[in-house]
Chains A and B, each alone.
Chain A
Amino acid sequence: MEKKIASISYLILFLLTGFVNTSTVYDVIGIQWYYLSIINCFSLVYFIFRHKKLNFEPIKFFKSSINLFYLFFFLTSSISLLWAINMIVSVDALSKIFISLFSLFILSQFEIFKYITIKRISIIFSIILSLEVYFSIRGYFDIISVTDFEFGMASKFLKGVTGNKNITSASIAFKLPFLYYLIYNSKNILFKATLILLTSFAYFNLILLSSRAIILTTFLSITFILIANFISILRTREPYLLALKRIIIYLIPIIIAVGVAYPTLDQSVRIENRVESINENDESASTRIRYYTKGISYFLENPLIGSGLGNFQIISIQLDKENIKSYIVPYVAHNDFIELLTEVGLFGTLFYLLFVLSVPYFLFKIFFTTVDPKVHLNLILLSLPFIAYFVDANLNFPQYRPIMQVSFIVYIMIIHEFYKSNFRGKSLR
């Protein structure tokens, strides 16, 4: 009982990281990493003091492949300190990776999935999502009580708890599939309707935020839902009408959100206008492409030894010096994988890729070894956060943001548990 309470408390505290905020620091991530460090240290002390009662066995950590991949990523990143341009910057970056590694350790010690079902985790994610949507969308209602809403207002008034509209969008998009999980796995019609309404609100919020990465995520998610359901019908021989019903349920909140948004919103917020804005004259797109190209070139010249963990912010100045005005430098590559390639070289990135790509590996493996339609449905839903994270990791920098890291760590553990439970012959709870 004690372990159950402790593990659920830890999980909730862990997932609430995004709400830790203060205006007294230059960047909110400073206090969020500090907060994670505190809850992890306290959890470890608690484990040491109550080691018998809580069955504290560090060896458990090494039994999971995802933990090992991350551990090797941590170790290879540590080695990069030896040739880092600025070693202190590397130590600083390494301390963040250590927090993520350590969180995996604590979560594995708590054996969280013994005490909490995926459905209950989805409830926690959904509550957090609702709060994030509330803190973002209330800005919209403040605006329309005075004047018309325009796209440019989103970055100031709708940024929500994260303090940045793109991070808020990514965080909402990542958690949305957990709301769907509850919709599909709930039998109460009223509850379902409430969840659909909440999902519509979240999509409406995403339309207001108009992040182009999220437009891409939504497009890829819908495409994935269509293709995956089609393959699922072929494999499970489930009646196609059921699959069609599932697809329609998936689309209903999107249709409601678009239906409400389009007649009321300014042209600038419309999805087609946001997509059209991506062209060769778009500075944001061209800057990203420049960073990618230069990052990859640097990696090809230094495939094994990068600039040192966290040192992209320094080497990028040399790579992009012809374009830097004033002292505003490319702090991040806007692609986590390219950034890692330039910092820790091939091996470190490979372990990080193995860690991230273990998600689709597990999901594919279960998908093609089972014919249970219910498992297929949950698999399809659980694939969607990966799409959101992967798009974000390729266009932004979720590795830098604690709010995305905590969600991804819990998510990857869910997938791993889902995988293990299916191969143990247990049904999904």
Chain B
Amino acid sequence: MKNQKNIIVGLIILLFCIGAHFVHYKRLKSFKQQIKLYNDLSNANYSNTPAEFYNNIQVDIPNLTATTIPLKAMKAIYITANEPADSVQKAIKLLHESRKENPFLMYSEGNLAQIYFSLRQRDSAYFYARKSFNGLPKNAVHYAMLSKLFANKNEYDSIVYYYQKINSRDASIGKIFLASMNNFYNDLDLINKRLVLQITEDLKFINKKDKDLQLLADYIIYGEDLVEKALNFEEKGEKLLIQQQFKEGIELYEKALEIRKDNFPYIQTIALASFNLFEYKSVIDNLEKLEKQNIALDPLSLYIKGISHYNLREYSMACNYLQRAAKFEQKNAIEALESICQ
């Protein structure tokens, strides 16, 4: 009797065990699928995926990815990217269903806004764009969608207002803001123009090494014509440097720098070209300009600065810079360090 009881209890526990095992099996299967999901997500490329894959994405258990994106929403993205336009309703249905699975991530809402926008259902697009923005304001995709909708309604000051609301220094959101302002800056009133200029200068100062952001900011600060002129000097200068006409190349870069002041790549290029002309003082002066702006020098710049100091008989500084360059496995720096600083 006692044995029978034990076996019955054992069997009941076994039932629970099988239930738990089912969940673990489903999770394992989903984790296998999620390798591709994350690969596609990080590359933002969902097209050319076989229907067999996305139709078999497990969306029930678990219903979220390891980073909490609803799996139904992911499936919807694959459908919109791979199936004809008439399948969009299927994707919309999945996105709506997935909203309650993670009500705070706003991934589904963000994608709904994009789909409704492409379907020209502006009111729905605006509703979900606002919802996703309010739910997760520092998300570049959410801000981009909202900006697009405001631009469509000619409400350019709202783009500025919402950017201020985010209070973000993030480069990706900054670039979206600057790209919008490049298009609509002239349509703003004087107060907003001043505000945008201030924001642009701040963004430019914070993201010194982001070339794209610098260009977008310069278009607003110096105006399109002047920046185009600078880019023209840059292009011609680059060609001359390739042809080893360093002096002429430097002159053009200096002209470009007169327009786009403190431009980090220009200053660096002038320093490198000066090194080829054995103008070591100029190399040091230019690279020090960057250091004063708290821009960390790359290994090559560290190396040429080290050699320039050496040629000016500033041995201790030379070894210091060569040592720093050698830490980055800069081959010439390692050799120079061994022969000069032993």
Contacts and interface: CB of A to CB of B under 8 A. Distances in A.
Interface of A: 24-27, 30-31, 33-34, 37-38, 40-41, 44-45, 47-48, 51-52, 56-58, 85-86, 88-89, 91-92, 95, 98-99, 102, 105, 147, 313-315, 317-318, 321-329, 331
A329 to B, nearest CB: 5
Which of B9, B24, B31, B104: most chain A Cβ within 10 A?
A: B24
Interface of B: 3, 6-7, 9-11, 13-14, 16-21, 23-25, 27-28, 30-32, 34-35, 37-38, 60-69, 101-105, 107, 135-141, 168, 170, 329
8 contacts: A48-B11, A86-B102, A92-B62, A314-B104, A315-B104, A317-B105, A322-B137, A324-B136
A85 B19 CA distance: 22
Contacts of A48: 7, 10-11, 14
Which of A26, A40, A47, A328: most chain B Cβ within 10 A?
A: A26
B24 A34 contact: yes
A321 B27 contact: no
Contacts of A56: 6-7, 10
A53 to B, nearest CB: 12
A45 B102 contact: no
Instruction: List the 10 closest A-B pairs by CB distance, nearest first.
Output: A30-B31, A317-B104, A26-B34, A95-B23, A25-B31, A58-B9, A95-B20, A318-B104, A37-B24, A34-B24
A401 B139 CA distance: 30
Contact of B136 (A24, A95, A317): A317
Contacts of B21: 34, 37-38, 41
Per DSSP, chain B at the interface is: helix
Contact of A30 (B27, B38, B107, B140): B27
Given A37-B20, A37-B21, A89 B64 contact: yes
Given A89-B64, A317-B104, A51 B28 contact: no
A57 B9 CA distance: 9
B288 to A, nearest CB: 25
Given A47-B10, A147-B329, A317-B105, A24 B139 contact: no
Contact of A327 (B14, B37, B105): B105
B13 A24 contact: no
Contact of A326 (B103, B135, B139): B139
Given A37-B21, A57-B6, A327-B67, A86 B136 contact: no
Contacts of B34: 25-26
A321 B135 contact: yes
Contacts of A314: 64, 68, 102-105
A44 B21 CA distance: 13
B193 to A, nearest CB: 28
A24 B20 CA distance: 22
Contacts of B13: 44, 58, 102, 105
Contacts of B168: 325
Nearest to A266: B327
A321 B104 contact: yes
A147 B330 CA distance: 12
A160 B105 CA distance: 33
B32 A321 contact: no
Given A30-B27, A86-B63, A322-B137, A98 B20 contact: yes
A328 B37 CA distance: 15
B304 to A, nearest CB: 23
Which of B13, B34, B104: most chain A Cβ within 10 A?
A: B104
Contacts of A95: 19-20, 23-24, 27
Contacts of B25: 34, 37
A102 B31 contact: no
Given A26-B66, A40-B17, A99-B20, 19 more contacts: A25-B32, A25-B34, A26-B34, A26-B35, A31-B31, A41-B14, A51-B7, A56-B7, A95-B23, A95-B24, A98-B20, A105-B13, A314-B103, A317-B68, A317-B136, A325-B168, A327-B107, A329-B68, A331-B67
